[in-house]
Amino acid sequence: MRHLLEKAFEKRSSLFDVTDAFRIVNGAADGFPGLTLDRFGDCYQIQYFGLEMLPRRRELVDAVVETFNPVCVVVKERLSRSGKSLENAPMEVAYGSREDAAGTVREGNAKFHVDLLDTVNPGLFLDMRHVRLEVEERFRAMPATSEGPRFLNLFSYTCSFSVHARLGGAAIATNADISGKILDKGRENYALNGLDLRPGEFFRGNAVEYVRWAAKKGLKFDGIVLDPPSFARFKGLNFNVREHLMPLVAECAQILNPHGFIMVSSNYSEFALDFFARDVLDAVKSVHKEARIAWKRGQDIDFAGSGATKDSCLVATLVEL
């Protein structure tokens, strides 16, 4: 087991200089069916998405400790013993203490707070790292103007995209999310990176509501990230990614500046990358005829075998004007 862990770790060696938060094991592709192992600084997270490895649970924790010398190992069961998916996963600190489960990780020029015991998601989605780094570089390359470039982060979660945008030179990075608690974590990430809070950067509410308000106010953005959950509910309104994503992309296109970009992504397992990218492009071209696809891709190199299982899938495309 230690040999498999060491082999999986070395496969991610190109990330070592970039970040200390990445996936070490991504299921069967790394020899561990139904299981993932993520590193968040000195803390490690094991998640069971299947029953195959559960009988070796203690052996696996011991192997992780012996191989990586972590401060903390948290185990989460994402599947019930009857085989049903669990959103409120049982969590156990299998090594270390509960206090050790929270900390800070680095990603390029940025730092982020994580807490492996807060919810199922510790505060940073690892499969979007490569896109966050590109957002920072795109803003760094934008020409200086009197007002500075503006960024819009919809379904912002803990505002990691916006931290990278601000570090790259965005004058304003607006975050829209329905959770006040999550936006507070975003403010903490701003502070961690020495970023001041600017007027208009935090909006608690529905992403669709914000886009329509921005359009009425005549606000324009140089970069937009649209990374929604598959389903969300807020104040009696439902967002279903299958029905509502592409219309929202078209509305976002109306507030996108010339020479700007929009990145759209989804973890919905029934989306196929080529068709998804085509639909996003068509939605943007309904407003900007000159729009073109810059790239379309799935998860980064640490997600070996991406797309083979429902718990490891991503479609993402970036359209620029």
- Residue 114 tokens read as 């994580």
Strand segments, DSSP code E, in 117-244 are 150-154, 172-177, 202-204, 221-226, 231-234, 237-240
Q: What is the pTM of this model?
A: 0.94
Give me the pLDDT at residue 146, please: 76
Q: Please, is 13 exposed, middle or buried when counting C-beta atoms within 10 Å of its C-beta (0-12, 13-18, 19+)? A: exposed
Q: Which two tokens stand for residue 108?
A: 């390029």
Angle between helices 160-167 and 180-192 (to 10 degrees): 30
3-state secondary structure of 147: coil
Structural domains for the chain: 2-107 (3.30.750.80), 126-320 (3.40.50.150)
Select from 113, 315, 133 the least CA-distant residue to 227.
315
pLDDT attached to residue 133: 98
Residue 104 zone, left/alpha/beta (φ > 0; ψ -120 to 50; rest):
beta
Contact 167, 138 (CB under 8 A): no
What does the pLDDT profile of the chain (321 residues) look like in tens digits? 999 999 999 999 999 999 999 999 999 999 999 999 999 999 999 999 988 998 999 999 999 999 999 999 999 998 766 556 666 778 999 999 999 999 999 999 999 999 999 988 999 999 999 999 999 999 999 988 778 999 999 999 999 999 999 999 999 999 999 999 999 999 999 999 999 999 999 999 999 999 999 999 999 999 999 999 887 776 667 788 899 999 999 999 999 999 999 999 999 989 999 999 999 999 999 999 999 999 999 999 999 998 888 778 999 999 999
pLDDT at 255: 98
